[in-house]
Amino acid sequence: MVESLHPLLKTKYPLIQAPMAGSQGARLAVAVSEAGAMGSLPCAMLSPQALRSELEVLRSQTSRPWNLNFFAHSNPPPDPQREAAWRELLAPYHREFGTEPAPPGGARSPFSDELADIVEEGAERGLPAVVSFHFGLPEPRLLARVRIWGSKVIASATTVAEARWLEDHGVDAVIAQGLEAGGHRGHFLPHAKGDDPADPAALLGQAGSFALLPQIVDAVLVPVIAAGGICTAQGVAAARALGASAVQIGTAFLLCPEADTSPLHRAALRAARDDRAGRPTALTNLFTGRPARGLVNRLMAELGPINGNTPPFPLAGAALAPLRAEAERRGNSDFSPLWAGQNVSGCSEDGAAEVTRRLAAGW
């Protein structure tokens, strides 16, 4: 019998494993793709050499469709005043841990010709079936390179206006990313004229997944992929009922053995899952300069999860990096980003194939 495949993703299941930079690589993507859903490789934090070797894993270990994910932000000009204010705020912690802030810099790179060249180096051995973008889309010239690969282009929207913008700019599907989602908001359009899209205040109006999804489904003609807080088969069924063409799920995969989630991050996730009265999540801009959802830790509690002194994305992390490393060495995650969505109930230590099948059963 011929298996019927998802019309856009060309997978057995209408399910994308969300790209999760810093917490997974090709190993998780291969396991999910082999299980019949779309595995994703997040590329924003990979050096050129690391991207080469992760692509090698994808190309040699699966012939099923996979997704490459890139950020589409512009690197900001340095802001010495904010950088100095940020360093001053962190100084007491550096004294406590005997560390020094690292020089300014960013650990996250946007899609570029250099990264596109690396993908094309092995084109004959496989190209991404899907390329997904976060923080808008790259410039048209770069997007045209992706189109030549034959990849479907999808991108995150956090508002109806962003979904319409993405449709007008030619995406094949929109990811409706709700407030509950773990990691960075894909927010890229100002809410009102003159607003900075990276301004945390602009996020106060972000809708929850199941408020956002049906509004985006109504507003655009392209397929809509639901994301944010979906962690169980029931959540998948609910997204389908509200008009989703597929679902993108991240947090539920963070405890899988194929993920590279750090032991401290895993411990915090398990505690949040097993003790619902434990740590909640919050949106914070402390770790990179842009709001992202993670489990509350000491830094977030003491500085407030949203702080006006952080340097612009992605520069906030540099001053924090040595502090984070030293704290982690001492076994504490007080200064580490513990990205997680609001719903950790479905996080499981099972293999990614099992988690994929369990989630897909809800469709």
Closest CA to 157 of 194, 180, 183, 185: 185
Residues that bind ligand FMN (CB under 6 A): 18-21, 23, 42, 44, 69, 132, 134, 156, 177, 180-184, 227-230, 248-251, 339-341, 343
The residue type at 246:
A
Q: Which is nearer to ligand FMN, 99 or 320 (CB)?
A: 320
Task: Please state the closest distance from residue 195 (CB atom) to ligand FMN, in A.
Answer: 22
Reduce the DSSP state of residue 41 to 3 states and report it: strand
Whole-number Å distance between alpha carbons of 203 and 291? 8
Reduce the DSSP state of residue 5 to 3 states and report it: coil
Task: Please state the closest distance from residue 352 (CB atom) to ligand FMN, in A.
Answer: 14
Task: Please state the closest distance from residue 299 (CB atom) to ligand FMN, in A.
Answer: 17
Q: Which is nearer to ligand FMN, 82 or 185 (CB)?
A: 185
Cα separations (Å) of 191 from 158, 176, 203, 208, 209? 11, 16, 8, 16, 18
Q: Which is nearer to ligand FMN, 87 or 244 (CB)?
A: 244
DSSP label of 339: B
DSSP label of 349: S
Task: Please state the closest distance from residue 207 (CB atom) to ligand FMN, in A.
Answer: 14
Q: Which is nearer to ligand FMN, 183 or 291 (CB)?
A: 183
Task: Please state the closest distance from residue 183 (CB atom) to ligand FMN, in A.
Answer: 2
Q: Which is nearer to ligand FMN, 89 or 296 (CB)?
A: 296
Surface-to-core class of residue 29, CB atoms within 10 Å of its CB (0-12 exposed, 13-18 middle, 19+ buried): buried
